[in-house]
Amino acid sequence: MTDRKVITKDGSATYYSEEYGESYHSLSGAMEEADKKYAQVCGIGEREDVVILDICFGLGYNSAAAIDAFNGSSIRIVGLESYQGIIDEISRMGDEYPFKCHNIMKQIASEGNYEDEKTYAKLIMGDARETIKSLKKDSFDCVFLDPFSPNKCPELWTKEFFEKIYRVMKKGGVLTTYSCARIVRDNLTAAGFNVRDGPVVGRRGPGTVAVKDQA
């Protein structure tokens, strides 16, 4: 893999994608972004059980932040990712992997799944626009949406893709993403979501939270 490692301002590591010309996380803090813009937005610490769809799994930081912060009895995660090179990096990383559940993440990366009495996770490789079609309707409480930016990866920010996400979310389900771009919010609204500001983290603008209020 040609992506190179970068240390972000909270001390956690991420990678810079030569293909997309962007880093995998905010340089203000990769670990902080995963925790505050993804795991905490879905109220992870207060849930007894939760089913999460992690779109653009990458190094798995958003899922890892959720697993580390979860205090309930059942957390189930499906990750969607297209690039095997970044998945392999999860197993290659040592102590710089910033989450306690690194061993769980390594098994997901090498085996494609993980299961214990509390945690179930499965990784589906391929283009998320196709692989999402294999998921059942009304399945997910939370969606972590983390593609490269709308300029670099427009195909994952379209109304058509958001409609596919909407289909697999439960009524009342919450989607969270780092982007507050107008095109993202307009397309989420057109797909049926109610959209509001997400948290401000680092020096960027707010993220976006989109709720499926109707069945």
Ligand X SMILES: C[S@@+](CC[C@H](N)C(=O)[O-])C[C@H]1O[C@@H](n2cnc3c(N)ncnc32)[C@H](O)[C@@H]1O
Residues that bind ligand X (CB under 6 A): 24, 34, 56-62, 80-83, 86, 127-129, 146-148, 153, 156
CB nearer ligand X, residue 4 or residue 171: 4
Residue type, 173: G
For residue 62, give both structure tokens.
């958003």
| Least distance to ligand X, CB of residue 215, Å | 27
DSSP, res 184: H
Name the residue with tokens 């982007």.
Answer: 179
Which residue, 82 or 189, is less far from ligand X as judged by CB? 82
Q: What burial class does residue 17 get, using C-beta atoms within 10 Å of its C-beta: 0-12 exposed, 13-18 middle, 19+ buried? A: buried
Task: Decide whether 119 or 177 has the Cβ nearer to ligand X.
Answer: 177
Q: Tell me how far, at minimum, the Cβ of 10 lies from ligand X, in Å.
A: 14
- What is the closest distance, in whole angstroms, from the C-beta atom of residue 25 to ligand X in the complex? 6
CB of residue 81 vs ligand X: minimum separation in angstroms?
5
The residue to which tokens 């972000």 are assigned: 8
Q: Enumerate residues 6+ apart whose C-beta is below 8 A from 186.
A: none
